[in-house]
């Protein structure tokens, strides 16, 4: 008789817990990145009596239940709806991953689906609690540098950078129908070259200067061009303070040839992309390669022998053969009009104007007043094989004793910029859960009332 009282009490406790969990879910229906929970109910057995019917040779049992308990709560990791906010630093993850944020005081990493970040006055991307978003540092072309996590820091002022690299881009074509000039090269004589292209270069103080790139069809070898770089940085001094000469050769199909002399190969940081450079360290003594010591503004340029003139690249694991063509040549030689597309890596000082995060790959880009948009970091994403290992810490944060897989966004884990992930709580389902928990609680109270009535009848038997 007394067992029914205790069983009903366990039911009341369990369904009261369910109501608590449901209330917490409904309270967080508008909490960014919130993941709802559900109780895991388990029955409790007090005793089991097993007997054997010797006539039929069957086993029969009598089970006495001891009620129910809530063994644990399970977080529901379904993705909530995405809400567009228009704020560049609001982020959402399309996938199972979580953002990694670091407490600057304790140095502890936390994990969250809440992507409400902002830029602090020190330039760090932080959440509402001041915890710093973690990411991977990248170079100017967006390639990851190293593997360690760092605080994402957007520098408020971009210092000037001296030009030390010129990259030809497609489309760039040298007109093979242009006849070789009949006179020696002279930058001041247009008849001594076939084409001139002007770019702006910068010294170490960010002062801009004009530089000319001259293209001359060789008079001594077919499918060969001489390239001349000239910059008169200081008009008060005779000559060109920045100058360098190179030779490039094409095959009869108009594709650039890798010769390992003027055009050499250097592996990139990942060891797979092989980039071809015009490098003055391999020039013959008949070529010139000079830079001025200082510019009129007091700045300097890198030594011209350290400049990289990138003319193509090839993605492969083994070195190419000298004399073969460059598969991905940026410069071609066809019987068509001259067209040159060039970029250089120098710039003047710039102040931060805006910051945004690219969707998909999570690149954090700073936009500066000098017109430079510079990739700085890629947001890091943590993926747990079993999300139930995560423990809630409040403030939309989780911790874990397990080590997650940390990766850059892309593939299955994508970052969405200007969006936030809403709570995955379904109000309609939670109302149904609330009613179910309420009715189950009421039913268990009726069990206690009925058991009490039966107990009263039993006691009254002796009156």
Predicted structure pTM score: 0.77
User: From residue 203, how far is each of 90, 245, 300 by CA, in Å?
Assistant: 37, 20, 5
DSSP 306: G
| Segments in 210-249 forming alpha helices (H) | none
The pLDDT, as a whole number, for residue 278 is: 58
**pLDDT beyond 60 at 289:** no
Which CATH fold topology does 165-344 show? Answer: Tick-borne Encephalitis virus Glycoprotein; domain 1 (2.60.98)
Residue 456 parent element (H or E): helix 427-460
| More confident site: 208 or 57 | 208
* Domain boundary assignment for the chain: 2-77+424-460, 82-156+355-421, 165-344
Interacting residues of 212 by C-beta distance below 8 A, sequence separation 6+: 187, 196, 197, 198, 229, 230, 231
Q: Report the range of poorest mean pLDDT among 24-28, 285-289, 331-335.
A: 285-289
The first and second tokens of residue 170, run together, are: 């497609």
What Rg, from alpha-carbon coordinates, does the chain have? 36
For the stretch 375-404, pLDDT in tens is 999 999 999 988 888 999 999 999 998 889
């Amino acid at each position: 008789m007394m067992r029914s009282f205790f069983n009903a009490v366990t039911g009341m406790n369990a369904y009261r817990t369910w109501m608590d969990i449901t209330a917490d879910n409904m309270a967080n229906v508008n909490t960014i990145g919130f993941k709802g929970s559900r109780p895991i109910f388990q029955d409790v057995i007090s005793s089991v009596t097993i007997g054997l019917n010797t006539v039929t040779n069957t086993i029969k049992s009598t089970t006495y239940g001891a009620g129910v308990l809530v063994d644990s709560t399970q977080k529901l990791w379904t993705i909530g709806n995405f809400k567009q906010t228009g704020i560049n630093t609001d982020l959402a993850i399309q996938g199972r991953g979580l953002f990694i944020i670091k407490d600057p005081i304790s140095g502890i990493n936390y994990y969250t689906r809440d992507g409400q970040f902002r830029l602090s006055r020190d330039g760090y991307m932080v959440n509402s609690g001041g915890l710093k978003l973690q990411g991977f540092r990248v170079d100017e072309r967006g390639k990851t540098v190293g593997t360690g996590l760092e605080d994402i820091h957007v520098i408020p002022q971009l210092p000037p950078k001296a030009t030390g690299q010129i990259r030809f881009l497609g489309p760039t074509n040298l007109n093979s129908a242009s006849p070789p000039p009949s006179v020696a090269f002279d930058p001041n004589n247009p008849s001594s070259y076939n084409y001139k292209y002007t770019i702006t270069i910068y010294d170490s103080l960010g002062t801009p200067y004009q530089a000319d790139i001259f293209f001359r069809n060789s008079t001594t070898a077919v499918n060969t061009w001489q390239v001349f770089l000239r910059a008169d940085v200081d008009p008060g001094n005779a000559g060109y303070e920045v100058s360098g000469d190179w030779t490039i050769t094409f095959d009869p199909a108009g594709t650039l040839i890798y010769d390992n002399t003027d055009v050499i190969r250097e592996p990139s940081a990942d060891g797979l992309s092989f980039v071809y450079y015009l490098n003055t360290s391999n020039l013959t003594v008949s070529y010139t390669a000079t830079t001025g010591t200082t510019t009129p503004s007091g700045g300097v340029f890198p030594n011209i022998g350290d400049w990289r003139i990138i003319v193509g690249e090839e993605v492969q694991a083994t070195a190419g053969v000298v004399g073969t063509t460059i598969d991905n040549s940026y410069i071609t030689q066809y019987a068509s009009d001259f067209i040159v597309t060039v970029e250089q890596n120098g710039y003047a000082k710039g102040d931060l104007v805006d910051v945004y995060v690219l969707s998909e790959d999570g690149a954090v880009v700073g936009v500066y007043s000098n017109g430079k948009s510079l990739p700085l970091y890629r947001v890091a994403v943590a993926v747990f094989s079993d999300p139930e290992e995560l423990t809630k810490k409040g403030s939309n944060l989780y911790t874990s004793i397990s080590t997650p897989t940390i990766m850059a966004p892309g593939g299955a884990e994508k970052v969405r910029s200007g969006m936030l992930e809403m709570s995955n709580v379904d109000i309609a389902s939670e109302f149904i859960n609330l009613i179910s928990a309420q009715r189950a609680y009421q039913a268990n109270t009726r069990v206690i009332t009925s058991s009490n009535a039966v107990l009263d009848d039993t006691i009254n038997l002796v009156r």
